[in-house]
Amino acid sequence: MTLEIITAPALGPVTHGFFTRKGGASSGVFGGLNCGGGSSDLADAVELNRTRVAGAMEVAPEALLTVHQVHSPDVVTVSEPITGTKPRADGLVTATPGLAIAVLTADCQPVLFADPDAGVIGAAHAGWRGALSGVLAATVEAMEALGARRENIAAVIGPSISQRAYEVGPEFFDDFMAEDPEFSRFFAGGEGDRMQFDLPGFGLHMLRQAGVGTAEWTGHCTYSDPERFYSFRRTTHRGEADYGRLISVIRL
């Protein structure tokens, strides 16, 4: 099966892609393009999937770079392939041609950044915790350190869980209110004490607060489209043992 790659015109001439689960070698609950080495999927299948992604991005497999994601605001700057233990972080930036930087998600926001004029790109994994703690602004700052200008940066949020599928409880709401009461606008009423959280809306707000020139969401909901996307929350609701991870990649 052919790989399916979602692209965004806002990222312009920079090679990138939000990959769906189509076209991979994994089977069972991982069926498709599972690129998550942290899953219980067969290691050979994950490696083959990542090799297919690298080929689609026209880089060698070792030039497809990911980090050990930990829901943090931490961002690493890379200028060569990562060897040995992957750094614990949730964002990557580079100005080195030939490197493809990527993040893995399954409901959280994959965010790809580009300043084509400066030749600087970024990728961030932004779940609610990382977005709240500042990973998106930190990625912009790391890009600036390489010569990007934030007003020239385009940032696109890829397939993520949408508000209608993201039910949360009062403790979750309290975490946001403790940071800024204005964040209440990203919550809609649900049943009882439950609320519906707008993760992509919050991500767009944080990107605009960081001063990027363009901020968009592709509009794809991971929870609502099981044929195309993995979803941690859908897996939990179905009582499945594990779930795959989508990959989103950008390269100079």
CATH number for the domain harbouring residue 140: 3.60.140.10
Confidence band (pLDDT; 50, 70, 90) for 81? very high
Residue 160 φ/ψ, nearest 5 degrees: -145, 165
**Residue at 86 is within a domain:** yes
Confidence band (pLDDT; 50, 70, 90) for 251? very high
> Does residue 26 come out as left (phi exceeding 0), alpha (psi in the -120 to 50 range) or beta?
beta
**Residue at 181 is within a domain:** no
Q: Provide the domain limits for residue 15.
A: 5-162+198-251
User: Is the pLDDT assigned to residue 127 strictly greater than 90?
Assistant: yes
**Contact call for residues 100 and 89 (beta carbons, < 8 A):** no
Closest by CA position to 111, among listed 88, 97, 92: 92
Q: Which two tokens stand for residue 62?
A: 């070792």
**Residue at 87 is within a domain:** yes
Confidence band (pLDDT; 50, 70, 90) for 247? very high
Closest by CA position to 215, among listed 94, 113, 129, 91: 113
Confidence band (pLDDT; 50, 70, 90) for 38? confident
User: Is the pLDDT assigned to residue 16 strictly greater than 90?
Assistant: yes
**Residue at 167 is within a domain:** no
Whole-structure pTM value: 0.96
Mean pLDDT over the full length of the chain: 96
User: Is the pLDDT assigned to residue 212 strictly greater than 70?
Assistant: yes
**Residue at 168 is within a domain:** no
Per-residue model confidence (pLDDT) at position 1? 66
User: Is the pLDDT assigned to residue 84 strictly greater than 70?
Assistant: yes
Confidence band (pLDDT; 50, 70, 90) for 191? confident
Confidence band (pLDDT; 50, 70, 90) for 25? very high
If one counts the domains in the chain, the total is 1
What average pLDDT does range 132-141 have in this prediction?
98
**Contact call for residues 215 and 208 (beta carbons, < 8 A):** yes
Per-residue model confidence (pLDDT) at position 87? 96
**Residue at 173 is within a domain:** no
Confidence band (pLDDT; 50, 70, 90) for 241? confident
Cβ neighbours of residue 100 closer than 8 Å, sequence gap 6 or more: 54, 57, 59, 63, 64, 65, 249, 250, 251
**Residue at 12 is within a domain:** yes
**Residue at 220 is within a domain:** yes
Per-residue model confidence (pLDDT) at position 181? 97
What average pLDDT does range 208-232 have in this prediction?
97
Q: Which two tokens stand for residue 240?
A: 């499945």
**Residue owning tokens 């020139």:** 213
Per-residue model confidence (pLDDT) at position 240? 87
